[in-house]
Structure 1
Amino acid sequence: MSELLNPDHIDFAEICVGGQFRSGAGGTAPSIDPTDGTLVADYGVAGLDDVEEAVAMGRTALADPAWRDLKPHERARVLYRIGEAIEAHAEVISALQTRDTGKTLAETLALALSAAGTFRYVAATLESLDEDLTAPRGPWVTMSVHEPIGVVAAITPWNSPIASDAQKVAPALAGGNAVILKPAEWTPLISLFLARLAYLAGLPRGLLSVLPGPGRVIGDALVRHPQVRKVAFTGGTVTGRRIAQIAGTKLMPVSLELGGKSPTIVFPDADLDEAIAGVLYGVFSSTGQSCIAGTRLFVHESIREAFVSRLVERAKALRMGRGDAPGTQMAPMIAHAHRDKVAAMVDAAVAAGARLLCGGKVPLGEFAAGAWYPPTIIDNVANTDTICREEIFGPVLAVLSWSDEDDLVAKANDNEYGLACGIWTRDYKAAWRVARRIEAGTVWINTYKQFSSSTPFGGVKNSGLGREKGRHWIQSYMNQKAIYWGMSKDPIGWG
C-alpha cells in the first residue's frame, strides 16, 4: 500500500452504505474528545432508510458470484489484505482512536495491531477449515457442510473500537456473509475508517456497511429486520437481554458478550509484587472501562493488611494524563456523563459505610475540563453491597477478604455475572481446583487481561451467550447443512 489514508482528509460526516460513502438520513452528531471536551469531528448518523438500503445491498452482494462463488482460500486473501491495511495504518488508527476515546496511545496501538491480527488469524483459519465426511449409518455417503447465514448485524461497544469491530466483521465475512456494523455513538470514527480500509483492500461492494446512530433507533431496526439473520453484540446486559428477546421471536442466532463483575483472588503464597502489579493492571488499565475488569478483590486475611497497604500506595502513584502524553497510565473516561455515573456509585457506597482508601473524588485543576476520575480503592464493604454487585465500568476496586476456600468460591460465584476471574498463587493444585469451581468464561492464573485469537472468549450467566475467537469462530457465523448421497442399487422400498 503506497499511500496511507489520512483521517484529516476524510469526511466523517459520511456514513458507509455498502461501500458508498455519503450523508446519512439522520444528519450529524459530534464526537467529543473526553480529555478536554473539544470537538474531534462531526460524524454522519444513519436513518431507517439507510438500514433498508444497507440490508438490500448486502443481500445483492451475497448473491453475486464475485463473492458467493469464491473458494475459502480466495475469501481468505481479502481478509489478509484487510489485516495488512490495518497494520499499515496502525499508528494512524491509534492517533485517531486516542482523540476519539481519550485512551492512551499505547492502548490504542495495541488495539489496532490486535485487529490486524484478528483478520490474519481468521484468514488462516478459513484456509484450513475442513468440512466433515460423517460415519456412514446406511447405504449413503453423508457429509456436513457450512454455508453463509446471510446479512449479519454487528453492534460494537465504545471501549475498544477497531478490536471489537474486527472480532465480528472478520469471522462474519470469512463465513461468506454481508455485515452491517453499528458502532457506539461515542466512538464511531474508527469504524468508519475501517470501512474505507476494507474497500481499499478489495472487499467487494455491498458486503460491509457502517451505520452510526442511536442504538434505540438503528440498533433496534437492525435487530428486528426480517432479513438480518444474526446479531453479534458486545455491550450492556440490559440491552443484551432485549436483543435476545427479539431474536427469540425471529428464531435468529445471537452472540452476546455482556457485562462483568469479575473477582480477583490472592492466595497467601502468591508472589506479592506480581499480584499487586496484576491487580492494578486488571482494574485500572483502560481507566477501568473494561467488561473483564477485576473489580472485586478477595485477599487472604493473613496478608490483607500488608497487601492492601502496598496496593494503595502503588495506585496513588499511577500517572494520570492525556492519552497522547508519554508515560500516561490513567487517561480520561469516555464521557462526562459516564464519569459522573461512576462517581455517583462511589459516593453512594461511601454514604452506605464504605471507606475510601484512595481516589473517589472528581479531580479539579488541570483535569477540570475533561472526564477524569482517579484510581479508587474502597474497603469496609460486603459482597452483598451494591458496589460489589453491579458493574461500575470505571476505575473502582472493592477489597474483600477470605480465609476458607469453600466460602471464597461461594462468594466469588455469588453474582449475576460470570465473565472472568484472576487467581494469584504459587500452588498449582489450588489454582486448578479453584479455577475449575469458578463460574466464569475465562480464568487467568498469575496473569490478567491477556487474549489470544485461538482461545475462545465469552461469559456465562448474565455475562452473555456464545463465544468469540477459536477455530470454530467462523462456523458460528454459518448454517450447518447435512447432505446424503444415496449409494444403494435398490430403490426405496415403499409405495
Structure 2
Amino acid sequence: MSQQSVSDLKSFLINGEWVSNPTESFESINPATGEVNYRLSVATALHVDAAVASAKAAAALPSWKEMLPHVRAQILMRIAALIVERGDELAGLQMAENGKVWSECKAQAGSAAATFRYYAAVCETLGAEVTPSRGNYLSMTSYEPYGVVAAITPWNSPLTMEAQKVAPALAAGNAVILKPSEITPSAGLLLGEIALQAGLPPGILNVLTGNGAITGKSLVQHPGVRMVSFTGGTASGRAIGMMAAERLIPVALELGGKSPHIVFDDANLEAAVESIVGGIFEGSGQSCVAGSRLFVQSSVYDKLTALLVKRGQAIKLGLPDAPGSQMGPVSSFAHRTRIEQLVASAVAEGGQVLLGGQRPEGQEFEQGAYYLPTIVAGLDNQATAVREEIFGPVLCVLPFTDEADLIAQANDSAFGLASGIWTANYQRAWRVARALETGLVWINTYKQLSISTPFGGFKDSGIGREKGVTGLRLYQQSKGIYWSMDPDNFPVAATASTES
C-alpha cells in the first residue's frame, strides 16, 4: 500500500486527504498468528461530520452531478484495472486481517475488479422508461441518486462486499462513505486510494475506520446521509434499520443465514458431497450463504454422512499462505470462542460430533484462531446450534422423510437467505425451489455466484437486493415526469406582420 499502510498509525480518507486520529486507535490482529498487524485511527463523530460535508459538496458539483454516464463508466473501468494491478496487495491485506487462504483472497480480488467492470457497463448502457400514457402527454421515469450513501461492510469478505456496494452506488451517481469492519479495514482504505488514482473526484469516496458503536452509529444517524447499505449480522442490521426508520431514509440490509442444503435419495451423492464441503468449510464457514443445515433423505442418510466425514478429514488446515492450505483460522479469537460455545451447546442438547469439534493439535496452530472442520449429527431442527447462525466451520446434519417433511423443516427458521437442492427429478427440484422461503436457490450445485444476478434474503436475512441491474437501482430514487403534448398548453408563436 502507500505511505499510510506502513506508518505507525493508519489513516482514513476524507475529501481526498489522509487523516489520522492519534488520540483514538485500535489494533488489527492477524488471526493466523495472533500478532498485531498495525494500529488504525478511529473516526469520531467529528470526522463523520467532515466526511459527510465533503461527500455532500462533491456530489453537488457539476463535475460529478452532470458527468455523462459513459465518462463515469470510464472511471469505474480504471478502478477495475487498478484492482487487477494491485490484486496481490489487496489479497494480502484481507488474508492478514481475516485469515482466509491465499487462493480465496486472490479470487475475491478478481471478483472485485469484475464487479467494477460490470457496473461500468451498466452505468453506460442502462436506460430509463417511457411509460404508457393515459392522455395527450408523454410520461417517463427518471432515476436520480440519493446524494450521500453510507456503505457499511463485514469482515468475512471485504474485497467482494465493498465492491458490491461502492461500484453500483458510484455508478448511480452518489457520493459514498465506506465504513469497513474494524476487523478488516485495510482493503477499503486501499480501494479509496485506488479510486483517487483512477480519477474519482475527491470527496466522492470517503473511507472511515472505526467500530460500529462510534463510527457506524454516527454515520447512520447523520442527517446528511440519505441512504444506508449494510451487510452483517441480523442484530446489527435490525438496529440500523430502526435508526434509518426514525430518519425516514431507505436502507438495504444483507444479513445472516442458516441455509438449508438438501439431498434427496436420487441425487449424485459424490457431487453433492463436494458442494456440501465447499458450501460450509470454504472460508472456515464464515459466509452468509454457508450451507450450515444439511437435510438428507433418510434412505441415504448413513451413506452420505460417512462420505462427508471421510471428505472432511481430508481438508488441509494450515496457515493461509501455506502451499496447499484449504482452510485457515476463523477471523478472531473471540469468534472462535463463540463457535466453541455453540458446539458445546449442541453436545449438551444431544448432538454427536462426527468430525472435529475442537481446536487442531500441533505447534503451528497454537498461536492462531484455528478450529477444525466440524460435523454434528443427532440434533433436531429446534436445537440452538441448528437455529442460530454459527458463522463457522460447523455442519449440522438432519434427516427427513419426504418432501413435505423437508419443506416444513427447511422453512422453520428465522432466516431465509440461500438454499441448495440435490435431486435427479427436475419437477421436484422446481416444486421445492418454489416452496423454500429463501432469496437464492441452487439446484445440483452450491455457492455459484454472479454479479449479474440479484442477491438478497427473505425474513430476517434482509431487505433489498444487491447485484444485477437492481443493484444499481438500489442506490437511486425514481422520479415520474409528465410532459404535455396538448398544443393549447404551449405559447402561440408570434406571426410576422404582413403590413408594409
The unaligned stretches of length 5 or more in structure 1 are: none
**Preserved CA contact (<8 Å) 1:72 1:126:** yes
Q: Find the residue that maps to 1:397 and give its secondary structure.
A: strand
**Preserved CA contact (<8 Å) 1:26 1:46:** no
Code of the residue aligned with 1:406 in structure 2: it is A
Q: Deviations over 1:91-123 (max 9, x none)?
A: 221122111211101110111111100000001
**Preserved CA contact (<8 Å) 2:4 2:11:** no
User: For 1:191, which of 188, 202, 212 is the aligned residue?
Assistant: 188
CA offset at residue 139 of structure 1? 2.1
CA offset at residue 363 of structure 1? 2.6
Q: Deviations over 1:404-436 (max 9, x none)?
A: 101110100000000000111222111111111
Code of the residue aligned with 1:162 in structure 2: it is L
Find the counterpart in structure 1 of residue 255 from structure 2.
258
Find the counterpart in structure 2 of residue 429 from structure 1.
427
Find the counterpart in structure 1 of residue 379 from structure 2.
381
The whole-number CA distance in structure 2 between the counterparts of 1:433 and 1:5 is 53
Q: Find the residue that maps to 2:420 and give its secondary structure.
A: strand
Q: Which has the larger radius of gyration?
A: 2
User: For 1:143, which of 140, 164, 177 is the aligned residue?
Assistant: 140
Code of the residue aligned with 2:42 in structure 1: it is V
The whole-number CA distance in structure 2 between the counterparts of 1:383 and 1:253 is 34
The whole-number CA distance in structure 2 between the counterparts of 1:369 and 1:431 is 45
The unaligned stretches of length 5 or more in structure 2 are: 491-500
Find the counterpart in structure 2 of residue 358 from structure 1.
355
CA offset at residue 362 of structure 1? 2.0
Find the counterpart in structure 1 of residue 32 from structure 2.
35
The whole-number CA distance in structure 2 between the counterparts of 1:95 and 1:240 is 29
The whole-number CA distance in structure 1 between the counterparts of 2:8 and 2:123 is 34
Find the counterpart in structure 2 of residue 485 from structure 1.
483
Please say if 1:417 is aligned against 2:415.
yes
Change (3 A) 1:245 1:208: same
Identical-pair percentage:
49
Find the counterpart in structure 1 of residue 311 from structure 2.
314
The whole-number CA distance in structure 1 between the counterparts of 2:42 and 2:16 is 16
- Runs of 4+ that moved beyond 4 A: 4-12
Code of the residue aligned with 1:452 in structure 2: it is S
**Preserved CA contact (<8 Å) 1:287 1:394:** yes
Find the counterpart in structure 2 of residue 111 from structure 1.
108
Code of the residue aligned with 1:112 in structure 2: it is A
The whole-number CA distance in structure 2 between the counterparts of 1:34 and 1:112 is 20
Q: Find the residue that maps to 2:239 and give its secondary structure.
A: helix
Q: Deviations over 1:287-332 (max 9, x none)?
A: 0111110011111111111110111111111100000011111100
Code of the residue aligned with 1:123 in structure 2: it is A
The whole-number CA distance in structure 2 between the counterparts of 1:162 and 1:180 is 16
**Preserved CA contact (<8 Å) 2:196 2:202:** yes
**Preserved CA contact (<8 Å) 2:75 2:200:** yes
Find the counterpart in structure 2 of residue 179 from structure 1.
176
CA offset at residue 271 of structure 1? 1.0
Find the counterpart in structure 2 of residue 329 from structure 1.
326
CA offset at residue 200 of structure 1? 0.7
Find the counterpart in structure 2 of residue 471 from structure 1.
469
Answer with 21-30 or 132-141: which moved more.
21-30
Q: Find the residue that maps to 1:213 and give its secondary structure.
A: coil
Please say if 1:90 is aligned against 2:87.
yes
Please say if 1:241 is aligned against 2:238.
yes
**Preserved CA contact (<8 Å) 1:133 1:144:** yes
Q: Find the residue that maps to 2:474 and give its secondary structure.
A: helix
The whole-number CA distance in structure 2 between the counterparts of 1:8 and 1:328 is 27
CA offset at residue 26 of structure 1? 5.7
Q: Find the residue that maps to 1:444 and give its secondary structure.
A: strand
The whole-number CA distance in structure 1 between the counterparts of 2:129 and 2:419 is 35
Q: CA RMSD in A?
A: 1.5
Change (3 A) 1:145 1:18: same
Code of the residue aligned with 2:442 in structure 1: it is W
Find the counterpart in structure 2 of residue 66 from structure 1.
63
CA offset at residue 273 of structure 1? 1.0
The whole-number CA distance in structure 1 between the counterparts of 2:381 and 2:192 is 44
Normalised to the residue count of structure 2, the TM-score between the two structures is: 0.95
CA offset at residue 75 of structure 1? 0.7
**Preserved CA contact (<8 Å) 2:356 2:372:** yes
Find the counterpart in structure 1 of residue 283 from structure 2.
286
Answer with 258-267 or 134-143: which moved more.
134-143
Find the counterpart in structure 2 of residue 203 from structure 1.
200
Find the counterpart in structure 1 of residue 498 from structure 2.
none
Code of the residue aligned with 2:62 in structure 1: it is P
CA offset at residue 138 of structure 1? 1.5
Q: Find the residue that maps to 1:228 and give its secondary structure.
A: coil
CA offset at residue 333 of structure 1? 0.5
CA offset at residue 27 of structure 1? 2.6
Q: Find the residue that maps to 1:347 and give its secondary structure.
A: helix
CA offset at residue 12 of structure 1? 5.7
User: For 1:166, which of 150, 163, 167 is the aligned residue?
Assistant: 163
**Preserved CA contact (<8 Å) 1:182 1:219:** yes
Q: Deviations over 1:63-84 (max 9, x none)?
A: 1111111011111111111111
Find the counterpart in structure 1 of residue 343 from structure 2.
346
CA offset at residue 357 of structure 1? 0.4
CA offset at residue 42 of structure 1? 1.3
Q: Find the residue that maps to 1:111 and give its secondary structure.
A: helix
The whole-number CA distance in structure 2 between the counterparts of 1:26 and 1:439 is 48
Q: Find the residue that maps to 2:79 and give its secondary structure.
A: helix
The whole-number CA distance in structure 2 between the counterparts of 1:191 and 1:12 is 16
**Preserved CA contact (<8 Å) 2:349 2:379:** no
Code of the residue aligned with 2:124 in structure 1: it is E
The whole-number CA distance in structure 2 between the counterparts of 1:352 and 1:62 is 55
Find the counterpart in structure 2 of residue 400 from structure 1.
398
Change (3 A) 1:274 1:6: farther
Aligned length: 489
CA offset at residue 54 of structure 1? 0.3
**Preserved CA contact (<8 Å) 2:26 2:40:** yes
CA offset at residue 50 of structure 1? 0.5
**Preserved CA contact (<8 Å) 1:263 1:420:** yes
Q: Find the residue that maps to 1:162 and give its secondary structure.
A: helix
Code of the residue aligned with 2:436 in structure 1: it is I
CA offset at residue 250 of structure 1? 1.4
